[in-house]
Amino acid sequence: MARRLQFDIFRYNPQDPLSKPHTDTFHLDETDSMTIYIALNKIREEQDPSLQFDFCCRAGICGACAMVINGRPGLACKTLAKELPGQITLMPLPVFKLVGDLSVDTGTWFRAMNEKVGSWIHTDKTFDPTALEERMDNDRAEEIYELERCVECGCCVASCGTANMREDFLGAAALNRIARFMLDPRDERKNKEYFEVIGTDEGIFGCMGLLACEDVCPKELPLQDELGVLRRKMGWTAVKNLFRRG
Amino acid sequence: MTDLLCIGAGLAGERVAVEAASAGFDALCLSIVPPRRSHSSAAQGGMQAALGNCFKGEGDCPDVHFSDTVKGSDWGCDQEVARLFVETAPIAVREMAFWGIPWNRVVPGKSTYFKGGKQFEKIEPAASQGLITARDFGGTANWRTCYTSDGAGHTLLYTMDNKVVELGVRVHDRVEAISLIHDGETCTGVVARCLKTGDLRVYLAKATLIATGGYGRIYRETTNAVINDGGGAIIALNTGIVPLGNPEAIQFHPTGIVPTNILVTEGCRGDGGTLLDVNEERFMDKYEPEKAELASRDVVSRWMTHHIRKGLGVKSPYGDHLWLDIRHLGAQHIKTKLREVEEICNNFLGVDPITQLIPVRPAQHYTMAGVRTNKDGAVYGLKGLFSAGEAACWDMHGFNRLGGNSLAETIVAGKIVGGKVAEFLQGYEVAFDTAVTRAALVKEQERIEGLVQCRDGKENVFEVRNAMQDELMDHVGIFRNGKDLQTAVDNLQEICMRAQQVGLRSNGIGVNPELTMALKIKGMVKLALCAAYAALQRTESRGCHAREDYEARNDRDWLKRTLATWEEGADLPTLNYEPVSPTFELAPGERGYGTCKIISCTENDLGD
């Protein structure tokens, strides 16, 4: 027999002076292949049309629907009800500013991150429309793509011990982005320039090595390895800087 | 106040903004989601451009790409635009490489590939080592689709938004344009609702661009993201002046998974997967003895629908479906060549495709329909208004878009239209009429108050939306006929009345999702009516538009594009027609695939 699921959902509408943070409980009969995406839309359409949450591609591609599901940050669209107990608690991601209920403002955070790390190819060259493209080794292209797969969902940031304690911590998504550009032969930045962005306690040296980021990443990015490599590179750059000063 | 206001920050919107900003103009993008969540990111396959670097791309050039595109469109496209597109595509792809796309590259030497479930060998030329490579896609003569693994749309969008950040182009995310500000001649910006606070805002601009993507969400079963609900098309149609081009041109893809309609790639069938019915028996080989499961998208979708209608679909709580079977391809093949399919099945269905069947059915996929523009991207009817990407009917797709041509259009049209916007802005000044602006704002304020206070009734917005979606699925789907289309028009007119009577059940305060839906429901039903009514009038079959009662493509009478406008207070759109193309570089003929019945036109019909 199908289970009757209980959803305990965080509610708060900051725009409504009468609203106070609280939990609302909803019940639904489980259907085949029910995901949190299907469940939340059913609750909104049949029980409470004011319920706020974010979905976009609903296919695990865009990163819009990250929330805390039974204590763990994850993408709601690819979370199947049948993998969860009958009682499901949904909370908004911490760290990011709350828009309302389960909806948070990741856009502002990630735009600022992209500005901070200079998330683009830094080069003095200009594009020549008449020329062939610059050649690149296919293995290198695939290595770059592997790190480029980040969807900026915010799960790594929400699960990060440092990010939850200090607002200025760059977080795994930003550090991974730097790693992506360091791999890219088209980017002319040197380690010294990267060091200026991430060679601090707000950057790579703020990482406590708890590595929840890797555990919760829905794209299964190799964050542990990347953070390790970055720490080593930046450590060496710091040592070199010391000698240079001396 | 800004020079250029882009409504939508997907690939097309951002590409236009980048072009204008690079020319020194102030550009601002509005987006209902953070820009990197735009639906452009979901395109996995790649973008077509005739680089001819890889072995199977040898001899490829814009001429071949042009011919594929025109045939694909079933001669429904503007050939001048298609030519412009194919010539610019290679440059646009290389420019994206320069900006940072990790395109897959040619690896010289021997390698294998699959076709029709069989394995073949190819040898890549050493001279092309490290140049951008390409993969095979439907309806193309060469391998022409540039890709980055299974995430072409994602890398394109991230690279484009990186460029936006680099240039300092502002993006106001979670802001939805809900009406265009215009005086009947010139567009001067939008009234928008902030989706962080619910507040209304006015954005004034010298040039405004609609780049809101497609509107598959008017259908119940669609591969589109939930944000593809027609915001841009609705505000254009609501002007009463701006026409939608070919609103009846809607593409379906055969294999969306059930229930969530996420696409599983055509590669499943390309590699030998089969479609099964409720009795777990194949049926495509009976309908199409020669091509079976590998007939074109529109043909397979048609037979699947036919089979479900015969009662041979599999019943489920989410409606009838069919099965896709790839079990016989084996674990190794699935885990390497169809990795993404395995992930989707595991994540979204809890189904293991190595041992289990995948529930699928055709789902709406793409709107060739869109805001009609000229070849510069300038929208018909209002000065200062432009459109690009899937939102626009530019019109290089006609009645059927080729795979790989959608991502390509966003980048190429973005580049071209962006250049034209910059030309337009050069020395252009406009007077912002405060009375016009105020009237537009007040109208939206009143609309919101009316909905919150249930001034016109208490219709449930979700029920109205569901009724509209069901109507389109049942009567304006893959197969169309006069009787069903007339039923759809009649029923949708009634649903439109209900949309007029929507009232909120919740309080509407802040970013209330019920209000967000209520503000656009009537517009969505109008789009649905445009599709149904234009489909009813088009008494021929062309590309995706398959009339059971008019099976031939009729070049004698229908070599023309529908233009639908909606006058204030009218209960149906006004349909006008224009010649499909100013030039016929490629005269109408056979596509070379699918069934082919043609009522031919004369030389005179083609003009010069």
Residue B545: per-residue pLDDT? 95
Give the closest-approach CA distance of A8 to chain B in angstroms.
Answer: 19
Q: What percent of chain B has pLDDT over 90?
A: 79
* Residue in the structure block whose two tokens are 């639904």: A28
Q: Which of B511, B514, B521 to mutate to test binding with chain A, by most A CBs within 10 Å of its CB?
A: B511
pLDDT digits (tens, 9 = 90+) for B504-563: 999 999 999 999 999 999 999 999 999 999 999 999 999 999 999 999 999 999 999 999
What pLDDT was estimated at residue A193?
93
Residues B420 and B20: their CA atoms lie apart, in Å, by: 9
Please report residues of B whose CB lies closer than 8 A to that of A144.
102
Q: B320 or B114: which carries more pLDDT confidence?
A: B320
Residues B515 and B513: their CA atoms lie apart, in Å, by: 5
How confident is the model over B324-336, as a mean pLDDT?
Answer: 84
Distance from CA of A243 to the nearest CA of B (A): 33
pLDDT of res. B291: 73
- The residue among B138 and B227 whose pLDDT is bigger is B227
Contact partners, residue B521, CB within 8 Å, separation at least 6: B461, B464, B465, B468, B499, B502
* B96 in Cβ contact with B159 (< 8 Å): yes
pLDDT of residue B554: 97
Token digits of residue B325: 């079977």
Q: Is the dihedral of CA B143, B147, B152, B157 positive or negative?
A: negative
Summary mean pLDDT of chain B: 93
Share of chain A above pLDDT 70, in %: 99
Mean pLDDT of B421-435: 97
Q: What is the pLDDT of residue B294?
A: 73
End-to-end, the C-alpha distance of chain A in Å comes to: 74
| Residue pointed to by tokens 């080592």 | B129
Q: Which residue has the higher pLDDT, B438 or B333?
A: B438
pLDDT at B430: 96
Q: What integer pLDDT is reported at residue A154 of this predicted model?
A: 98
Q: Cβ distance A13 to A19 under 8 Å?
A: yes
What are B20-56's pLDDT values in tens digits?
A: 999 999 999 999 999 999 999 998 778 999 999 998 8
CA distance, residue A66 to nearest chain B CA (Å): 12
Within a 13 Å sphere around the CA of B5, how many CA atoms are in the beta-carbon half?
Answer: 27
Residue A75 has pLDDT above 80, yes or no: yes
- The pLDDT, as a whole number, for residue B45 is 75
Q: Give the pLDDT mean for B194-219.
A: 98
What residue in A sits closest to B127 (Cα-Cα)?
A135
Of B331-345, B476-490, B493-507, the range with the lowest mean pLDDT is B331-345
Give long-range contacts, CB 8 A cutoff, 24+ apart: B62-68: B62/B86, B62/B87, B62/B89, B62/B90, B64/B141, B64/B142, B65/B89, B65/B140, B65/B144, B66/B585, B66/B586, B67/B141, B67/B586, B68/B139, B68/B140, B68/B141, B68/B144, B68/B402
- Hey, are the CB atoms on A119 and B165 less than 8 Å from each other? yes
| Residue B453, both tokens | 């206070």
ipTM reported for the complex, 2 dp? 0.97
- In this prediction, residues B114-138 reach a mean pLDDT of 83
- In this model, does residue B357 exceed pLDDT 90? yes
Alpha-carbon span B542 to B424, nearest angstrom: 35
Q: Is there a contact between B322 and B313 (Cβ–Cβ < 8 Å)?
A: yes
Q: Pick the residue with more confidence: A2 or B106?
A: B106
Q: Report H helices in B328-425.
A: 331-337, 339-344, 405-425
d(C-alpha A99, C-alpha A114), whole Å: 21
The burial of A129, by beta-carbon neighbours within 10 Å (0-12 exposed, 13-18 middle, 19 or more buried), is given as exposed
Q: Confidence band (pLDDT; 50, 70, 90) for B268?
A: confident
Distance CA(B540)–CA(B548), nearest Å, equals: 9
**pLDDT tens-digit profile of B358-403?**
999 999 999 999 999 999 999 999 999 999 999 999 999 999 998 8
Amino acid at B498: R
- Among B105, B193, B340, most A C-beta atoms within 10 A, so best to mutate, is B105
> In the 3-class helix/strand/coil scheme, how is B211-275 assigned residue by residue?
CCCCCHHHCCCECCCCCCCCHHHHHHHCCCCCCEECCCCEEEEEEEECCCCCECCCHHHHCCCEE
- Are B298 and B364 within 8 A, CB to CB? no
The pLDDT value given to residue B172: 98
CA distance B492 to B495: 5
Q: Nearest-CA neighbor of A139 among B48, B153, B500, B133?
A: B133
Amino acid identity of residue B14, one-letter, is: E
pLDDT at A1: 61
Average pLDDT estimate for B341-353:
88
Residue B361 CA to residue B478 CA, distance in Å, equals: 12
Q: Are B20 and B425 in contact (CB under 8 A)?
A: yes
- Measure CB to CB from residue B42 to each of A61, A115, A144 and give the nearest one: A61
Residue A222, pLDDT > 70, answer yes
Catalytically active residues of B are 253, 269
- Chain A CB contacts of B37 under 8 Å are 56-57, 62-64
Closest Cβ opposite residue A55 in set B151, B158, B226: B226
Beta-carbon pairs below 8 A across chains A and B: 211
Task: Give the residue from chain A lying closest to B155, CA to CA.
Answer: A148
According to the model, what pLDDT value does residue B319 have? 87
Closest approach of chain B CAs to the CA of A49, in angstroms?
5
Q: Is the pLDDT of residue B452 over 80?
A: yes
Q: What is the pLDDT of residue B116?
A: 56
Helix residue spans in B43-139 (DSSP H): 62-72, 79-99
The residue assigned the tokens 């919760």 is A216
Q: Do B148 and A141 touch (CB under 8 A)?
A: yes
Contacts of B162 in chain A (CB under 8 A): 114, 119-121
CA distance B608 to B603: 9
Q: Grade residue B135 by pLDDT with cuts at 50, 70 and 90.
A: confident
Q: In this complex, do A61 and B154 lie within 8 Å of one another by their Cβ atoms?
A: yes
